[in-house]
Structure formats: C-alpha cells, structure tokens
Structure 1
C-alpha cells in the first residue's frame, strides 16, 4: 500500500449544537460549509472570540465531530480511525490545567510515555523532553507552583513526548510573557525544521501569526480569508474595524 497523502482536508464541514430555548431546541451553527486543504508546515488560524477557531482545531483529532461533511487527516478519518489519528496529532489546549494531571512535570511526561517507553527508561526520556524545551529545571517542581506560562510549556512537553507528526495549539501564547513567547516561536520553528512536525495554531497575537507559512481568517463560523500571514492579518484588522464602526 502506498504512502498516505500528507494533507489535511475539510469538505463541506459544518458543526452546530442544539440550544434549549423556551420555544424548543434551536440549532446554532458553529462552523458552516468549511472547505479547505492544508499541506503547509506551519498554519495560523486567526479570528475573534466565538468565531469558531477552537472548534475548527478540535476537528483535527476528533475532539469535536462534524454534523456534516468530511474531515481527513493524511487520508484518515478522525472518528472512524481515531486511534491512528490521535497517534499522529498532538493537541495543546489554551488552559494547561486541562492537560496536566500529575503533581510534577516529570511525572506528567512519564505518564504520557507509559505506552511508548519501558518503565525503567521513562524518567530519562521525560527529562530529555524537558531539556529539549529548556525547562528541565522545572522537572520536580509542583505544577501548582508554576506560572501559567511555565505550565503551558510543560503541557507542550507532555504532548511532544509522544512524538506527534502534527502539533495543534489553541491560542498557545495567551499565558506567555514576551521571553517565553519568543522561546515558543523558536521551538516551533525548530520542530518544523528538525523533526518535520507540522504546526497548526490559533492566535490573537497577530505578530506571532507571522511565523506561519499560511494563515486562515475565521469569522462567524466560516473561513473568510486564506493567504499569507501579512495579508490575512491586514484583512482581519479591516474586518474588526468594520464590525466596530
């Protein structure tokens, strides 16, 4: 069997929920008729709060199921072939509290490695991941003592430990100061260059979006612009200004 296609595709994808109202259940669309094919190494997704960015990202590994249409990750369906997709797609949430479940960063990463690395080797493997991100000094600190930005980097380390081919990050810079934001920018660029990881992230930080090869603007559940980051951020600014006028 030949090698699978190396692209992510959305065909006529719509997602919505039923809201309970006094008049009965009312369908509320979150994403509508999304059609896009992604094969670049780094992709930024820009949009206002509530635009549908997070829902779009969660379709990548089956955290959200489309009501209609088809999602394919390198030819794999995230629902029908969930195990294969989740083995290649790593997801980092905006709030690291959604991912960190162990008392220390070292233990959390060891937990991530439990199905991949023999128990006797997990500590060394976990330390190597923390070292790669430049946060080995946090290994045995309590996660409750860490800053929001430090927790975010630990959550990223736990995802990278399982060696994903695609890394999806939902607003990864929200909790980061300038120093850690620049550290993350360099780290993601290095992962693309050295590991061949594809990086897809949503962000409100239009400067950070500039590191991407391609950028999508999402508004009211639709992709309304798709181009270079410079052009996409210009269009997004125009969209925001027209909405506020």
Structure 2
C-alpha cells in the first residue's frame, strides 16, 4: 500500500513543482482527449500464474460541470481466470486438490470500452481528486482455455462488466492535465462455474489497472472565455 501511495503522489508533486497556472481552472463545458498506460494486475489468477502486464489506451472526457464529467475510453489489456473445482480447504493439500480436480486456466486479451461518470473535487489549487464508476463493454481478441477435456469452453467473447476507480488530476494549464488513477474491471464474462446445493458459483475475470495519463483540450471558438 505504501508503494501505491508513493506512485500516486510523487508524479503529481513533481508536476506541481514545475509550475503551472496560478488561477483555478474551470473545465466546465470542455472536451479533453488523451492517452494513458500503466500496469495491469489480473486478480483472478490464483495458482502461480504471472499476474502483472502492461496495458494502455486512449480517452475522451467531457465536463458537464466544474466537478462532474463523462468519459469514454478504449483500453487493451490481458485478462484471465484460474480455478479448481470446489473450495480448497485444510483437509486436502493443494497438490492433492490439483491432482483430483485439475486447474482450469483461461488466458485472454480484450479491447475494453469503459463508460464512466466521474465526480471531481479540489484538493489544492488545480490538484483534484476524483472517484468514478460505470460499465465497460469488452470484446475478446484472444481466448485460450487450458481446461481438461469435456469441460465447457464456449463462453461469450463479448460481455459487459462493472468499472470503478479513483485517482488524482493536476491541471497544468487551461488546455492540459495529467492524471494517475486505479480502476477495476469485474463481474462480467464468467469463464467457469461450480454447482452447489443452493447456488452456482461463477468465476469472473478480475483486473486492476494502474494508469498514468495526459489529456488535452483542443480549444475552439465556443470554448473561448471559459476558464
């Protein structure tokens, strides 16, 4: 957690020390377009798989007010799931559980199109914090199932899931901002099930993305005079 906090604060501190505008930026009514990249952690890998990858994307954001905005991104990242039938417990060593049931591993990659509503609040001058939430449309472009023979693998390749996150934005000028954030993708596009007496357990891909990005406002006549 300490490393994550430092990853948030050090880049923002460095940008702020480099200068910027002294007036408070009001982004109301402006479009910002940008790009981002960072780390992708596949939280739904559970049995020794490599979990961390590089991810990236582009974004478009429209501020409907000083504190609110709507955003659309196009992201590309790896995803996956691994599971063993049933819940592991202390009565059976994990090696025995693997031998009995076998590990099911799904490895994939998606183009994701998250749509978020964001609430932004001022921390100090043009440094702002924010929280966001929404949904994401995911389109699988890679799908590899390392499942035992006879186990279902015909799951959908297009699905929606929930998207939520938080972060920091620093407005360098009326036209440019830098940001860092963390966002999660979960509860969509399950890749396996277990049946119990009273319910069915589903195994979903779960990703946590850490982003570092820049966004730019291309000023036009209708935006002049706002700030």
TM-score normalised by the shorter chain: which range applies?
under 0.3
TM-score by length of 2: 0.22
Question: Which structure has more helix as a fraction of its residues?
Answer: 1
The structure where strand makes up a greater share of residues is 2
TM-score relative to the length of structure 1: 0.21
Q: Radius of gyration: which is bigger?
A: 2
Larger RCO of the pair (alpha carbons < 8 Å, separation 6+)? 1
